[in-house]
Amino acid sequence: MHRDFHRHHRFFCDKEMNEMYLSVFLMNLAESMISIFVPIYLFTLNYSIVSILLFFLIGHLGNVLFSLPVAKMVSKIGSKHAILISTPFLIVYYFGLQFLPQFPWFFAILPLGIAFRALFYNFGFDLNFIDHLDRKKIGRELSSLSFFSILATIFSPLMAGLIIFYFGFQTIFLVGSVILLVSCLPLFLSEDHRSKINFTWKSIWKMLFLRRNMGMVLSFTGYAIESSIGRSIWPIFLFVVLGTAQKVGYAASVSIFLTVFTIFATGKLADRFNPKKLLSFGTMLYFFGWVGCLFADSVTKIFFFNSYKGISERFLQLPWSSIFYKIINPETYFQMVVARDLIFNASRLLILPIIMVIFYINFYPFVISFAVAAAFTLLYPLLNNSFKSEDLEYLKN
């Protein structure tokens, strides 16, 4: 959850942004070494999949409850300081995971820590990106961002898998935390930017329930549910089939390596051609990626479908993100960023209890979960029908 739209930043524009990009590179390096293994770590501690889903559910609840208070804080401290403040929450979260066997009550507290990390980080980075956005080159900016982010993560799952294999989960949490601390240093080298907040809970929910925005809401809902299954259940499935965290790291690294070759081409296509058509095409590709996961019952199939799913996701995510940033209103973008985050987490609050029941009943739970992810993938293109730039004028009122 804490990595939703973290990837949208522009590289090599000016000194201030370059400092941010270095920070992003290091943060992605640290997070990608750990995030995929958190569900697996909880699984190795003998937590049931139902309990693991409850763990993430608590975090999403925290996101919903504290989104507006955190947004008000970000408006006062600035976007870069928000990123800086988010880092201790993540480090405490990582170290707290190590003590779960000794202090089981941490299970109810740690998800709130990752919720605050996600809120401060997401708001900070999205506001910074939108402030420096070149709308004519959004696709290429997003593809450049994705390239450097993936460059940081291309070998990290493999490295993390090896570290876990030889030294254990505690060591990977320590290494990741050290890298996170180093990643904060570039943030002190330049001035910060602050965005005014002029909206309330009432205005946000009023905006979301307008008929003209239903396509946007459903599209964000599709992403939220599909990605939640991909981040919480898919890693556990990989571990169950492959047997070790080391092999999960291999699978993740192969997928990321192959994905690199699709990024720049997709970004240029998003600027040159109609992103709405590219979104529909990417949705079709990604849908079949999840369908393929229904049949992933061997090591060979796991590597193939995991790689295909990672590549097809890029064909979907880049035009999808490009459309969002092209239609967002510069005068009300903070409200839209907060509203989008609310949609993400509120949607997961609705779907995760259902998935928990499916795993409790234990009737083909993985198959049903992947089928649900495939079905909600089909909601992505509804962003095409949500609204146009000029339709956002009403948000000024």
Q: Which helix (H) or strand (E) holds 315?
A: helix 299-327
What CATH number is associated with residue 23? 1.20.1250.20
Range of the domain at 288: 15-396
Residue 3 resides in a domain: no
Q: Of the candidates 238, 282, 325, 327, which has an alpha carbon nearest to the alpha carbon of residue 7?
A: 325
Q: Is 254 helix (H, G, I), strand (E, B) or coil?
A: helix
Residue 373 resides in a domain: yes
Residue 1 resides in a domain: no
In order, the DSSP letters of 106-160 are HHHHHHHHHHHHHHHHHHHHHHHHHHT--GGGHHHHHHHHHHHHHHHHSSHHHHH
Residue 37 resides in a domain: yes
Residue 189 resides in a domain: yes
pLDDT, tens digit (0-9, with 9 covering 90-100), for 166-200: 676 667 667 777 777 776 666 656 566 666 777 78
What's the domain count of the chain?
1
Residue 330 resides in a domain: yes
Spell out a b/e string for 361-395, using b for 16 or more CB atoms within 10 Å of the CB, else e: eeeebbebbbbbbbebbebbbbbbebbeeeebeeb
Q: What is the pTM of this model?
A: 0.81
Q: Is 165 helix (H, G, I), strand (E, B) or coil?
A: helix
Most confident of the following: 42-56, 148-162, 295-309, 325-339: 42-56
At residue 79 the predicted structure's pLDDT band, cuts being 50, 70 and 90, is confident
Which residues, 6 or more positions from 282, have their beta carbon under 8 angstroms from its beta carbon?
A: 312, 315, 316, 317, 318, 319, 320, 380
pLDDT, tens digit (0-9, with 9 covering 90-100), for 284-324: 989 999 999 888 877 778 777 877 887 788 778 877 887 88
Residue 236 resides in a domain: yes
Q: Let me know: does 52 contact 194? Beta carbons within 8 Å.
A: no
Residue 383 resides in a domain: yes
